[in-house]
Structure 1
Amino acid sequence: MSALASEVLAEVRGQVGFITLNRPAALNALTLQMIRDLTVCLLAWRDNHQVQGVAIRGSNKAGPFGAFCAGGDIRFFYQALLSGDPSPEDFFTEEYTLNHLIHTYPKPYIAFMDGVVMGGGMGISQGASHRLVTPRTKMAMPETSIGLFPDVAGGYFLSRCPGHVGEWLALTGNTLTADEAVALGLADQNIGEAQQADVWHALAQLESLDHASLDALIATYSVAVSPFDTRARDQIDQYFGKASVLSIVQALEADPGDWAQHTSQQLRQRSPLMLHVTLEQIRRARQMALADELRMERDMVRHCFFPAHLGRSAAQTETAEGVRALVIDKDKQPKWHPARIEDVTPEMVQPFFDSPWARHSHPLRDLT
């Protein structure tokens, strides 16, 4: 096995390129170097006729599998916000370019989404041709809890979930089980934890990596999936199809049921500003092509880190405060600004969708 870097291990066996994310102490959270190594690897294999498909997995402290990827390295983002380090600019440009490469990859791409699959981990797996989950999968886009929005093409893939599930997942950041992920269109097959190694090694033995052969192999190891609760879907669509964040929350708070009350309390804990921004993102993304949606996210994240229209420095952003409260100080008492959903105005939200670049100079201008 060759190592592009110690945190991204790559090898070719049979007709398959195999990638193992190897940063287990950080749940394989992505660094800029990891993103660059993944991109180099995928581009090389895309143009190599001997490689007919790609498989990717994570690792935990005990070895392969166990944890896929917990997202981007948010401690790095926090330090950059406080210090004025511009390197997150490259991080997001290159991460979103990698997300686009995976979604448009011309060869089968099999993602073993075991354990934690969140944020950036979704970005390197949702574009896969085969998204495999296990009974210990914990899947989420929890960005609103740290004052951000579901990026890495989150607007694209969440908005294409059934009904208004995308709005529910984006706003609450709720964690899905394997069964829920399959039922809601965010995974393809649920396989046993112990069977992952068998599938992984069997891929190298396949004579053909056409979709029929891959589907037949994976089906051999798949387990039955429980359907998603129909009543829960009805509640999600009833509330999260409403026109605004405020109308969603007010309707939930007017419902005495446990689910509605719990959900309204969740939303009250999130960044009010970023809830409004996120709802607008999902609604816009539903009608957008992938490349355009990623360009929109690149605009949005620039405004999250440098919100000039709000008159704030990078260290005063919702993102800096969210990461401080949940990851750095861990007091779980973020001081959002504005503090209430009711106090967010359109003038605070709409500039997030104004591009700071002319189209010809946009950092993602070459995505098609």
Structure 2
Amino acid sequence: MTIVTNFRLPSCPELLLEQRGQLGCITLNRPRALNALSLSMVRALTQALQVWRDDPAIQAVAIRGQGKDGPFGAFCAGGDIRFFHEAVLRGDAEVEDFFTEEYALNHLIHHYPKPYIAFMDGVVMGGGMGIAQGASLRIVTERTKMAMPETQIGLFPDVGGGWFLARCPRSAGAWLALTSEVIGAGDALALGLADACFGTAQLQQAWDALAGLSSFDVDTLEAWRQQHIIPSPAATLPLNVVERCFGSTSVLAIVQALEATQAKDADHAVWIESTVKALRTHSPLMLEVTLQLLRRGAAMNLAEELRLERDLVRHCFNTRHLGRYRADTETMEGIRALVIDKDRQPKWRPARLEDVTPDMVAGFFDSPWPPHAHPLKDLA
């Protein structure tokens, strides 16, 4: 790959930038970490998108991930969780910078004035969803593995998740957010989280053909898409069960609805059992916080929702209203158990959904900042 030497573009080895014709090409280049986002990557992405936004020679932008064997194969597994853990323990303010700048990047992508095409091949999780869901064209493949897995580590689905998951049909976004389950191309398309399915064997051809387009108007891009689209795998999520159970006002009520349904729905009994197990395994407190985020996010615009997420993140690592800080928080305990020590035995507090009180949840939604001092106050 030829990297364009342009003094205005950032220099970041974890991000390959190339101008091909009128197309700005981005390749996330951290394959051993499944292209998990570092702060330097977030900053370089933001700078590159700002430069190309204002450059009349660039008419569109495309983004992909570097796999272990070359381009494609993995998109982005999210944020660098080990960095979060280490930074919080040492009191490093960079963890605060990361979330502020990542959310601002997400907002930039959602409002990008030029076509932005995301090739969501392979793993697309967490922060990877944040840099893809705002795309004007979101491409999945037969090997796409999509998820918002934050509740597994005692966090919540951020990067705009409280906004775009709240807009999935039939309460499916709540299911995805709360269970952290992985979906493929068929379900991603059915839930409105993708726009087209391309064959993995033709991805490089599609990428090269995109770079060769003479214009990027709606009709030309649609013709290009039609040349490479394939039938997607079938959707498998039982949306009727999801809609019936995940519209409840609390996670405990969702669990109770699932358990009541299981006795009458033999066809989905195994699926319901695994779903209940997930909801009984993740942090009860952060599950209720997550559901409340989606309920509020449904009535917000993206900028408002991202500001709310920024409030929540501060509370996740310093839960002042519960007197829990740094390593003593739900999020840090979840990261410890699943990523650092890998004992998969997090000690959640409280341990049961039945013991989560409204006051425990409400404190997460009190902003630590007055409006004029909020780190994302300038989002329009």
TM-score range, shorter chain: over 0.9
- CA distance, structure 2, for counterparts of residue 48 and residue 273 of structure 1: 46
- CA distance, structure 2, for counterparts of residue 323 and residue 312 of structure 1: 15
- What do residues 236-263 of structure 1 show as CA deviations (whole Å, max 9, x unaligned)? 0011011211111122223242222111
SS at match of 1:139: strand
Indicate conservation of the 8 Å contact 1:109/1:130, yes or no.
yes
Aligned-partner residue type, residue 168 of structure 2: C
Indicate conservation of the 8 Å contact 2:187/2:236, yes or no.
no
- CA distance, structure 1, for counterparts of residue 203 and residue 164 of structure 2: 25
Matched residues, number: 367
Q: 1:55 aligns with which of 41, 55, 62?
A: 62
Q: 1:221 aligns with which of 222, 228, 243?
A: 228
Matching of residue 167 in structure 1 with residue 174 in structure 2: yes
The TM-score, its normalising length taken from structure 1, stands at: 0.98
SS at match of 1:77: helix
Indicate conservation of the 8 Å contact 1:183/1:227, yes or no.
no
- CA distance, structure 2, for counterparts of residue 336 and residue 229 of structure 1: 31
Indicate conservation of the 8 Å contact 2:34/2:74, yes or no.
yes
Indicate conservation of the 8 Å contact 2:186/2:236, yes or no.
no
The residue that corresponds to 1:301 in the other structure is: 313
Matching of residue 119 in structure 1 with residue 126 in structure 2: yes
Matching of residue 365 in structure 1 with residue 377 in structure 2: yes
- CA distance, structure 1, for counterparts of residue 247 and residue 353 of structure 2: 17
Matching of residue 46 in structure 1 with residue 53 in structure 2: yes
The residue that corresponds to 2:266 in the other structure is: none
- What do residues 40-67 of structure 1 show as CA deviations (whole Å, max 9, x unaligned)? 0000000000100000000112111110
SS at match of 2:280: helix
Matching of residue 69 in structure 1 with residue 76 in structure 2: yes
Aligned-partner residue type, residue 234 of structure 1: N
How far does residue 4 in structure 1 lie from its aligned partner after superposition?
2.2
Indicate conservation of the 8 Å contact 2:142/2:232, yes or no.
no
Q: Which runs of 5+ in 1 are unaligned?
A: none
Q: 1:288 aligns with which of 296, 300, 312?
A: 300
Cα RMSD after superposing both structures: 1.1
Aligned-partner residue type, residue 320 of structure 1: M
The residue that corresponds to 2:116 in the other structure is: 109
User: Structure 1 residue runs of 4+, over 6 Å off?
Assistant: none
Indicate conservation of the 8 Å contact 1:108/1:211, yes or no.
no
- CA distance, structure 2, for counterparts of residue 59 and residue 228 of structure 1: 27
The residue that corresponds to 2:191 in the other structure is: 184
Q: Which runs of 5+ in 2 are unaligned?
A: 5-9, 264-268
- CA distance, structure 2, for counterparts of residue 21 and residue 244 of structure 1: 38
The residue that corresponds to 1:328 in the other structure is: 340
The residue that corresponds to 1:352 in the other structure is: 364
SS at match of 2:324: coil
How far does residue 229 in structure 1 lie from its aligned partner after superposition?
4.7
The residue that corresponds to 1:246 in the other structure is: 252
Aligned-pair identity (%): 62
How far does residue 9 in structure 1 lie from its aligned partner after superposition?
0.6
The TM-score, its normalising length taken from structure 2, stands at: 0.95
